[in-house]
Amino acid sequence: MRNDRYYSLNLNIRGIGQSPTLAINELSKQLQAKGKHVYPMGLGQSPFPVPSPVVEALKMHAHEKDYLAVNGLDILRKSVARFHRQIDGVDISSRNVLIGPGSKELMFLLQLVYYGDIILPTPCWVSYAPQAKIVGRNIRLIHTTFENKWLITPEQLESYLTGENDKYRPRLLVLNYPSNPHGGTYSSEELTRIARVAQKHEIIILSDEIYGQLHHKGRHISIARFYPERTIISSGLSKWCGAGGWRLGTFAFPSTLAWLMNSMAAVASETYTSVSTPIQYAAEQAFQGGIVIERYLCHARRILSYIGKRSTEILTNSGIRVHPPDGAFYLFIDFSQCSEKLIPKGIIDSNILCAKLLDETGVAILPGGSFQRPAEELTARLAYVNFDGSKALATSETIPLSERLPEDFGNYCCASVFEAIHKIVEWLN
Amino acid sequence: MRNDRYYSLNLNIRGIGQSPTLAINELSKQLQAKGKHVYPMGLGQSPFPVPSPVVEALKMHAHEKDYLAVNGLDILRKSVARFHRQIDGVDISSRNVLIGPGSKELMFLLQLVYYGDIILPTPCWVSYAPQAKIVGRNIRLIHTTFENKWLITPEQLESYLTGENDKYRPRLLVLNYPSNPHGGTYSSEELTRIARVAQKHEIIILSDEIYGQLHHKGRHISIARFYPERTIISSGLSKWCGAGGWRLGTFAFPSTLAWLMNSMAAVASETYTSVSTPIQYAAEQAFQGGIVIERYLCHARRILSYIGKRSTEILTNSGIRVHPPDGAFYLFIDFSQCSEKLIPKGIIDSNILCAKLLDETGVAILPGGSFQRPAEELTARLAYVNFDGSKALATSETIPLSERLPEDFGNYCCASVFEAIHKIVEWLN
């Protein structure tokens, strides 16, 4: 029998393995099955439960079975538009909201329909580049630096865009803040300056704000305020609502980009059709918000801020370079200062670094290479999510929000996170 | 400001509108809003509710929030494999089951990763060809005939495959039975003969059996029995379980095609990630089956069979060509015998036919052109789903399954279907 596997696969897809976050998850499970104690800090899943009003809404609509419109449930699109108007101060109409089975799928559709280059400041989220590969788009990386807190500067962007010498080139810049993988975000001034450059060159911005609601101080600002005419805001339930497994993402377009949304919807109608109906009804409850969800968010932010700060302190005190996160639940660790110790051990790139660390300490984190950093750079992302989010929330709720969490909060609510951080420090010394 | 819409869209996607089924749905709603009475027989959505044990399972798992493995929830994959082993008598391992957000999305991924031609016997389901266009694959249509009950013959297939003069050409034949749009299906003997041709040429078969459980006599047979080594079985919750809006489809591969499944899973991990977690738990209940679901299916089949037969009789008695369906809830009507009456009215293709019919009678059905039939052929698909499925089931449950439904069942349970059929007959005369 002939064997098609040798020749009948799309060349863009050959050699693409599973997403690295999912792969490290599998590896961790295998090691655990062999009896090894593993600290699973590879997959960036919210540790918190879905807020109860949202779970109740799902139960209430469990019998809903009709196909919904491709663009999404009307009342949900209205809630999402209101959410962006109220929280982000951006003028979004419900007509220009698109609901998808995860913002990842929506980004894929965007790259599939948009015929232009994709510009990625690195380190960046693991899936942008593989998606571009699958659809055959050009990927343009702009490497940021530790010194600039891994943020792209307006000067970098300007120099790149001008340097291409192709004024009308269709280009899509992806900005993700608070950032996966480093938790950093942009100030209002920085966003204004980047917006000005983008405006001058008339590029489109995909503003991935999935962690917006997890800004540790609740002060997320969208670049759409400063460049509304060509910014698409990406959000969803996965992070701030703890519902990653539910698969619901949202894109909010300015009316000037409706043509792009319509093309995406046309492809959606030939692929996923629409997002699961009961999930859309439940999401409407989430985007509507309310006191229970607001309180949940305040506690979640306080806990994540506490862990982020303490972990950064421990690492920094041991000579490891890392910035305290402004939001989300990630640390992007730069081990380059320890390279004198690491290189003699054969640790010459981020893949080997993470493999050895996992093997010798059980701490599972993701290599910088997965975030489009140069392979030989000794960086890695740690997701501090290996704790019981329900317990941490319950404990936090006993402490007034006006107070800071006590020093020993970590000992009984997220001991495993700090254990892992200490393991890393010990391992290096 | 420059306007990207003129140049920065993927050429494969330009001009692709929304899926015609969804478009007719929109048009029907617009007419209804204007006060017109519409018989919505365009969209092929199951009229029946989701069986109660399945809805209960969704409620019970509403709090589940973790990302699941890309390929799907383990217990669900086991249930799907067991389902195909028991119901279809095909040896499927749970390792070779892939869960997706609708079988439509899985078909898209298949076409995206498989680098080969797609062969479509027509009339065929509306989305196969647009998907091929989006990913840039060659579409090869094989037109079937009314006389052959719209089924492809082994001779047609043989002649097409041989005629290409390219023995090793990678090719994917899509078979859908019971069929959307005509409700017909293949006999065991026909399947055996088609399988023999496929085997000889070593082509891959995508066997779309989403209506398998809605065979009116419960006697669906899969071609995978006769050609297991290269047949992928497609199924899902949308039709037999009444849960179209839930978005869950399944692909079952032979182990020889695991390489294809793995490539699809790699792309899935960069697109939809995994199917909504609560929905997967509920689906497990559905594929597990049980007495309540079995009874639900028996009643649903009896009702669909009753309507299909009666409608065919009415149409046939008025000189309109249509075959009684073996399964599902569609009639594929051939108006060509009436062309002498239609052409003088300017009705020269299936689009005009359906537009005029909708305008003059309120009956919304889909033109044969949407199913890849020649545009000038006067054919159309009618989905007899415009009735209250819950009420029909409840009524059917009062009548022993050993009996036939009484003649007047239609008058109180699905009067609107027959009203529409009579409207068509009157309109033609």
Quick: pLDDT tens for B272-327.
Answer: 999 999 999 999 999 999 999 999 999 999 999 999 999 999 999 999 999 999 99
Banded pLDDT at B103 (limits 50, 70, 90):
very high
What share of chain B in percent tops pLDDT 70?
Answer: 98
- A10 interaction partners in chain B (CB closer than 8 Å): 112-115, 135, 263
Arithmetic mean of pLDDT, B106-117: 97
Whole-Å CA distances, A281 to A74, A187, A242, B170 = 10, 34, 16, 43
Q: What is the DSSP string of A181-247?
A: TT-----HHHHHHHHHHHHHHT-EEEEE-TTGGGBTTS----GGGT-GGGEEEEEESTTTTS-GGG-
- Of A28, A224, A19, A227, which Cα lies nearest the Cα of A125? A19
Other residues' Cβ atoms within 10 Å of the Cβ of residue B344: 8
- A137 interaction partners in chain B (CB closer than 8 Å): none
Average pLDDT, chain A: 95
Contact check, Cβ <8 Å, B267/A7: no
Contact check, Cβ <8 Å, A276/B246: yes
Whole-Å CA distances, A156 to A28, A59, A197, A208 = 38, 49, 10, 20
- B248 interaction partners in chain A (CB closer than 8 Å): 276
Arithmetic mean of pLDDT, B379-408: 96
Chain B 203-232, residues with CB within 8 Å of chain A CB atoms = 204, 229
Contact check, Cβ <8 Å, A245/B8: no
pLDDT score recorded for residue A20: 73
pLDDT score recorded for residue B1: 56
Arithmetic mean of pLDDT, B49-57: 97
Arithmetic mean of pLDDT, B374-381: 96
Out of A13, A113, A265, name the one closest to residue B263 (CB). A13
Contact check, Cβ <8 Å, A272/B5: no
Out of A5, A65, A265, name the one closest to residue B244 (CB). A65
- A274 interaction partners in chain B (CB closer than 8 Å): 245, 247
Task: State how far the Cα of A192 lies from the Cα of B265, in Å rounded to an integer.
Answer: 40
Whole-Å CA distances, A170 to A107, A140, A263 = 16, 12, 16
Query: Is pLDDT at B3 greater than 70 in this prediction?
Result: no
Put simply, whether B246 touches A (Cβ < 8 Å) is yes
pLDDT score recorded for residue B4: 66
Q: Would the pTM count as exceeding 0.80?
A: yes
Task: State how far the Cα of B387 lies from the Cα of A191, in Å rounded to an integer.
Answer: 55
Put simply, whether A59 touches B (Cβ < 8 Å) is yes
B253-271 per-position pLDDT tens digit: 999 999 999 999 999 999 9
Arithmetic mean of pLDDT, B367-376: 95
pLDDT score recorded for residue B293: 95
ipTM: 0.95
Point out which residues pair with B381 in neighbouring strands: B332, B366
- B116 interaction partners in chain A (CB closer than 8 Å): 4, 8
Arithmetic mean of pLDDT, B207-215: 97
DSSP designation for B222: -
Task: State how far the Cα of B53 lies from the Cα of B50, in Å rounded to an integer.
Answer: 9
Task: State how far the Cα of A218 lies from the Cα of B16, in Å rounded to an integer.
Answer: 41
The residue type found at A76 is L
Put simply, whether B7 touches A (Cβ < 8 Å) is yes
Banded pLDDT at B186 (limits 50, 70, 90):
very high
Arithmetic mean of pLDDT, B13-23: 77
Out of B4, B45, B246, name the one closest to residue A278 (CB). B246
Strand order in the sheet with A204-208: A97-100, A249-252, A231-236, A204-208, A171-176, A117-122, A139-143
Put simply, whether B43 touches A (Cβ < 8 Å) is yes
Kind and range of the H or E run holding A305: helix A291-317
Q: What is the DSSP string of A28-92?
A: HHHHHHTT---EE-SS----SPPPHHHHHHHHHTTT--SPPPTT--HHHHHHHHHHHHHHH----
A154-197 per-position pLDDT tens digit: 999 999 999 999 988 999 999 999 999 999 999 999 999 999 99
Put simply, whether A246 touches B (Cβ < 8 Å) is yes
Q: Return the beta strands (E) in A290-422 as ranges.
A: 330-334, 363-364, 366-367, 379-383
Domains and CATH numbers, chain B: 17-46+292-428 (3.90.1150.10), 52-289 (3.40.640.10)
- B69 interaction partners in chain A (CB closer than 8 Å): 22
- Of A200, A184, A287, A195, which Cα lies nearest the Cα of A237? A287
Arithmetic mean of pLDDT, B94-123: 97
Contact check, Cβ <8 Å, B59/A55: no
Tens digit of each residue's pLDDT, chain A (429 residues): 566 666 799 999 988 877 777 777 778 888 888 999 999 999 889 999 999 999 999 999 999 999 999 999 999 999 999 999 999 999 999 999 999 999 999 999 999 999 999 999 999 999 999 999 999 999 999 999 999 999 999 999 999 999 999 988 999 999 999 999 999 999 999 999 999 999 999 999 999 999 999 999 999 999 999 999 999 999 999 999 999 999 999 999 999 999 999 999 999 999 999 999 999 999 999 999 999 999 999 999 999 999 999 999 999 999 999 999 999 999 999 999 999 999 999 999 999 999 999 999 999 999 999 999 998 999 999 999 999 999 999 999 999 999 999 999 999 899 999 999 999 999 998
pLDDT score recorded for residue B2: 62
pLDDT score recorded for residue B30: 84
Q: Is B252 in a helix, a strand, or coil?
A: strand
